[in-house]
Amino acid sequence: MEQQTPTEVISRRVRELRDRRGMSAQALADRCAKLGMPALKRQAITNLENGRRGMVTIEELLVLAQALDVPPVLLFIPLDGRTRLQVTPNIDMASWQALFWVSGEDDPADRDSRQRWRETIGPVQQHRAFFTYFRRAARYEVGPPSRFNAEIRELARVLDAMISAGITPPAIPPEWRDLMQSQGWLEHPDEVPVQASED
């Protein structure tokens, strides 16, 4: 199985995606400049794709992902099933393991690391739960009231957990907060952000 560093994967993926979209290196550089990173000039992109550039900053990775219209994770994790990602000089992972680790889906294999992971993963899990219930509530808002209320109640539970943990949750529609409050589902109704009304 082949092993690559994240930068090596980025080099290959930027070239593949740029070619697939029929973009020149200059066109990609122009898009990066429009996104606020004029330093990613055509030559810098060419050097990256040819392996002559040894590193990519997080900011550059995010701009390249925006410019190429892909999730950032697809630029540095090889999801080809035959490449292992060298996440540190001493640790490599199967691509699927790296994907789950980066996205907060799975913890490291090391027992000591696993305990620390579980102690810190809460905000990721809470945001994931928030958006799961938020999307379900939005889907069922025009459907059966019992289904909508079930999703709203679960969303209220997640909102309270986030607020109790010191996390400011994303804003929700004001009528959802009013429903949660009227039903007594929120412990912290005054701390739940609401979306601005569209006038």
Point out the domain boundary residue: 107, 130, 161.
107
pLDDT at position 110 is 64
CATH number at residue 62: 1.10.260.40
Q: Do residue 98 and residue 133 come from a single domain?
A: no
Structure tokens at 163: 């607020």
Question: Does residue 1 carry a pLDDT above 90?
Answer: no
Query: Which residue, among 50, 42, 94, 92, has the nearest Cα to 67 in the 3D structure?
Result: 42
Q: Is residue 98 part of a domain?
A: yes
pLDDT at position 105 is 80
Q: Do residue 131 and residue 51 come from a single domain?
A: no
Q: Do residue 9 and residue 87 come from a single domain?
A: yes
Tell me if 9 sits within 8 A of 75, measured CB to CB.
yes
| Percent of the chain whose predicted confidence (pLDDT) is above 70 | 96
pLDDT at position 158 is 95
25: containing domain: 2-107
pLDDT at position 60 is 96
Tell me the average pLDDT across 88-106. 86
Q: Do residue 95 and residue 136 come from a single domain?
A: no
Q: Do residue 93 and residue 134 come from a single domain?
A: no
- The secondary structure element, H or E, covering residue 3 is strand 2-4
Tell me if 181 sits within 8 A of 158, measured CB to CB.
no
Q: Do residue 88 and residue 162 come from a single domain?
A: no
pLDDT at position 81 is 81
Residue 74, Cα to own-chain centre: how many angstroms?
Answer: 11
Helical H segments across the chain, by residue range: 6-20, 25-34, 42-49, 58-68, 73-76, 95-102, 111-120, 122-140, 145-164, 174-182
Q: Is residue 198 part of a domain?
A: no
Query: Which residue, among 18, 3, 2, has the nearest Cα to 75 in the 3D structure?
Result: 18
pTM of the model: 0.76
Q: Is residue 86 part of a domain?
A: yes
pLDDT at position 116 is 75
Question: Does residue 151 carry a pLDDT above 60?
Answer: yes
Point out the domain boundary residue: 56, 76, 107.
107
Q: Is residue 112 part of a domain?
A: no
Q: How many domains does the chain have?
A: 2
